[in-house]
A and B are shown apart, each in its own frame.
Chain A
């Protein structure tokens, strides 16, 4: 690895450093706890043991868990493509002939990174929490209960996700229907889905 690679500020590289720090801190913490455990039981409640455990049982593991969260939540954003269940949808994203909205967004890099996560996670704290809960159910399906034959979106796709980027853009506001007095409220309330007029986000059926 070149020096430039080792110290580059790219997110991936920072995550490698965070993961490395997490491993070192975790091993140091484990070493302290094993040291405490192999001593005589009476020693475990001495002042020296308390100081050792303050570091080995509280501070270092807390930092390890923090790094684990940072690395995990970064990597898990790309994990949709790791399950074979999603292969057909991923193939469509990368298919140059595809006309779906998702593939256009992916191939034109309108969303540069974490494309699945960006569109399928609501904004704000509740969006992140909901994404984590649904991610947990996806893992449960994939590893334990089995994946349903037909996969469909859990709830209607929120219009806010599209409007977050497009809503205030000049190109969007130039379209008559978007600012029409009758249609605008319907779009904003989600009564009228973007996909009523625009291409489907993903293939209607399993590609």
Chain B
């Protein structure tokens, strides 16, 4: 009987891609926030409100979907 641990299966691509996309979107949101903090103009504030917070909202959504998919894959849900 071999003591070698069973090789762990690689994670499916779906959640990995979702997490990557979530990180990119959140980074975009952070970039808009930083731009708005540094150069506070009405245009940058508007971009922060729409594009920045929109990107962050999308990032949270993508991350939540990734977590749900992962939980389903592990048969927790």
Chain B residues with CB under 8 Å of A71's CB are 36-37, 40
Contact at B45–A26, with CB atoms within 8 Å?
Answer: no
Q: Does B19 contact A (CB under 8 A)?
A: yes
Chain A residues with CB under 8 Å of B49's CB are 69, 72
Interface residues in A23-79 (C-beta closer than 8 Å to B): 23, 26-27, 29-30, 33-34, 36-37, 41-42, 44-45, 49-50, 53, 56-58, 61-62, 64-65, 67-69, 71-72, 75-76, 79
Tell me what chain A mostly uses at the interface: helix, strand, loop, or mixed: helix
What separation, in Å, do the CA atoms of A142 and B45 have in the docked complex? 14
Contact at A68–B23, with CB atoms within 8 Å?
Answer: no
Chain B residues with CB under 8 Å of A19's CB are 37
* Contact partner, B19, options A22, A49, A68, Cβ 8 Å: A49
What separation, in Å, do the CA atoms of A23 and B27 have in the docked complex? 13
Total interface residues on B, CB under 8 Å, equals 36
Tell me what chain B mostly uses at the interface: helix, strand, loop, or mixed: helix
Contact at A23–B34, with CB atoms within 8 Å?
Answer: yes
- Minimum Cβ distance to chain B for residue A17 (Å): 12
Chain B residues with CB under 8 Å of A143's CB are 43
- Minimum Cβ distance to chain A for residue B10 (Å): 6
Chain A residues with CB under 8 Å of B63's CB are 53, 57-58
- What are 27 residue pairs bridging A and B, where the CB atoms are less than 8 Å apart in the complex? A22-B37, A29-B26, A30-B27, A30-B30, A33-B23, A44-B16, A45-B11, A45-B66, A53-B19, A57-B59, A58-B60, A61-B26, A61-B30, A64-B30, A65-B29, A67-B37, A68-B33, A71-B36, A71-B37, A72-B45, A72-B49, A76-B45, A139-B42, A139-B46, A142-B42, A142-B43, A143-B43
With A36-B19, A76-B45 known, 15 other A-B pairs at CB within 8 A are A23-B37, A26-B30, A33-B23, A37-B24, A50-B67, A57-B22, A57-B23, A57-B59, A61-B59, A65-B52, A72-B45, A75-B40, A75-B45, A82-B42, A139-B43
